[in-house]
Every structure is written in C-alpha cells, then in structure tokens.
Structure 1
C-alpha cells in the first residue's frame, strides 16, 4: 500500500493511505506520491465538510478518540488521597504518650529546647524542639506530651534528636501549644485514630526508614488539626488514648505538626 505523508496547515504530520484519497476523489500521479498542491483542497482548514468525518490520524490506534473527547473530568477524590488511605498511613506512625523528665536550653541554638523524654522504653529519649519563642521552659518540666517516635534521628546543632513533640499552631504560626494526653495515660501508650475497633486493628508501626522513604509523615500531617473543641483530629477521626482524647489548651481549628 502506498502511503503519503501530508503536512496540514497548523496541524501535525499525519499518514494517509491511497484508499482514503480515492474516497475523496483525488487521483495521485502514477508511480509518484501526491503533491502538497494536489492535496491542498482536501486538507484546507476551511474544508470542514471533508475533515468533519475523518478519524484522528495522529492518535495511537489504541486510543478511543471519541471516548477521550467526551470523558468526564477526574473527580476530586480520584485526584487526591482517600480518607481510608490517609488513615492507613497514619496507623503506621508510632505516636505515643510521653513525659518530659527534664528540659533545658540548647547550648548551641537559641531557638531550641532539649528535652529528656520517657516514652515507655528502657532508656529515655533526647528530643530537640524549636519552642523557645512560644513557651517558657518551666512549662515543659515534667509535662505529659505526645511524641512522634518513629522518625529518623536528626543531628540538631550537635544534639541527636530522636523524635518530635507534637503541637498545634494557629494559621500565622505565632501561637503554639503542645498536644496533651488526658490524665490516666502512661508513657509509652500508643495513640490511635477512631474507635476502639480501630485500636484493635492497628498495625505495627513502620520503621523510621520506611517513614522517611515513603514520606508517611508528610502525607498525614496536612490532615491533622484540632476541632472547635480543641480536640486533635485526623480528618473525622479522633486522636485517642485509653483514657480519652488528645487535646491542646486553647487553639481551635488549628494545624498540628
């Protein structure tokens, strides 16, 4: 089959077979390709009668052109994580009740406190927090806190920080309050989201390497907020302990990080 390659005005190069040319009543010269002049009337952008019924010659043969043209746009749910996906990711975070044994100013960083925190392990953890401008040091001493425990350790100006204290902040990030577990919780207790049934089905936490590689914290954090009663939430799911929900002191509808 002889094939002619034709340039359309304002369109990409396409391929046409001779049967199509014959159906348009154009006779190419014998033993030669049709000239652009002989095909010009057929492919003129103004010849809508002929072009209207032609298939798209530049599309892949596997593409349904009509379906593609009329397909509805993707829904918002299809373009973003589902609530179940977010909750499943959050269940891989090792969020625990902690108790600060003592806290002090970082010797090499004016904006950092250093805390020694009991998270229910044989040895306490050292955690650095950028809270100096937001709260006095004495507020941290012996405080019950919420700790994200399966982050990879980070060297913060010479101090190895093994975890993160979780806090709520307003939109301008001028006010920051630590998340607080209710009375009756003990250091090391793992936090969950939802109901008692959700607690029973909670999987083992991911390793710090997995949290970093899969960006688990980054995918979950935008969905953590406080509600109108200052209760910590993951979307519509309560942040729970065995003694009740996790809260902050006064920040409503605030971001959690």
Structure 2
C-alpha cells in the first residue's frame, strides 16, 4: 500500500521545498541531498512506502533498528525536506513511485527540486549547471540565475518520471541538471548543485567545504552504489541529449 509514514508528529512544515536525491549519474543528487541532511542536522521525518520500491530493509552502523530504503528528512526552521534514497528505482516502477510521491506533494503543498546529472567527461572547467521547470517553477529558477540548457535533452529514471508527473498535473517544480562524471561519484558537481542551485532556490545556506576536502572519501563511500548503477544504467536518474531530429 502506497503511503508516507510520518515518524515525528512534532515536525511542522508550511509549504516546504523538497530536495530529491534518487541515485543517478555521478550520484550527484544523492551526494548533494545526503550532504544537506548532515549539514543542517535534519530530522528523520518519514518513511516512504511506495509500490515499486525494492522490498528491502536498511540498517546503519551502531544502530540495530531497520528502516525503509527511501526516507524523508525535515528541517522545519528552514521549511526544507530532503528525500534520501539508498537504492535505485527500476524503470518499470518509476511511474508508480512518482505518483505516490506526487500525492504527498499535493497534501503538503510541497515545492519539489529535482536533481539530475548530465554525463560529461571531466576536464579543468567547472561543471555547468542548467535549470528546467514546470508550471510557474521558472520564478524559482530566476532566483538562482541559472542558464537554460544549450541543447535539447530528456530526463529519465524516477527523476524524469516525477518531472513528467509534475508537467501533467501543472505542478510548480524545477529540475537542476549538472554536468557530472559518467563513471564515478562526483562531489564537485554535487557542490555546484548546492551552492548555485538548491541554496538560492530554497533560501538556505549550506556549508560545502566538506564536499571538497573529503572528495576522495566520499567517492570511496559511494563507489559500490555507483558500480550498481553502472550495471543497470537504465535505472539511473539522468539527463541526456536528444540524439534525433526534432
């Protein structure tokens, strides 16, 4: 049964901004979301039970309690919610998961910020960041002063399914697309997402020094998940150019 199971009833949210962190290219969305949860000491607010999510239980170091692989964390002072996912979502289940979460967006008046990596080989230039939107989401993009995409493309995986759901329902939402390493976890691209995309849109100030100082440690910690994503790239949330005539 699809539901969002709230664990902390004392958390009060007005019209929160949600940052989505499903694994994808460079794991940029997951790295950025995990970092924001830790940096803002966000509270484990709810467990996500959506049809289509893998039926697995997650446990943590030095903690015997198990939980769901997809969870919501909240910071009521900043009216901020972060979706943390420890598993990829199968492409056949992406629409189910998107519909499940969209119902919760409706109930809570949530403004979603979807995150996606655009595979590009690394060079000396900093990764480019682009903004896309549905509904009146362009107003939020203007706060971040982001460039529009330089070429046509599409967003796939659960992130693409949620953007498609937002488009169909006329929901205000934004997508942030950042150039990312197509093979390895990319903390540099995640840092760009936070500083130049999420923070201006959500009105937050997130320290990101740790993403640079601990880049090697972060890559090592995320590498096993990255390898799983490479073995099943169709499950990734990712942006990619449209290689066809329009």
Task: Tell me which interval the TM-score lies in, with the shorter structure as reference length.
Answer: under 0.3
TM-score w.r.t. the length of structure 1 is 0.23
TM-score w.r.t. the length of structure 2 is 0.24
* Structure with higher RCO (Cα < 8 A, 6+ apart): 2
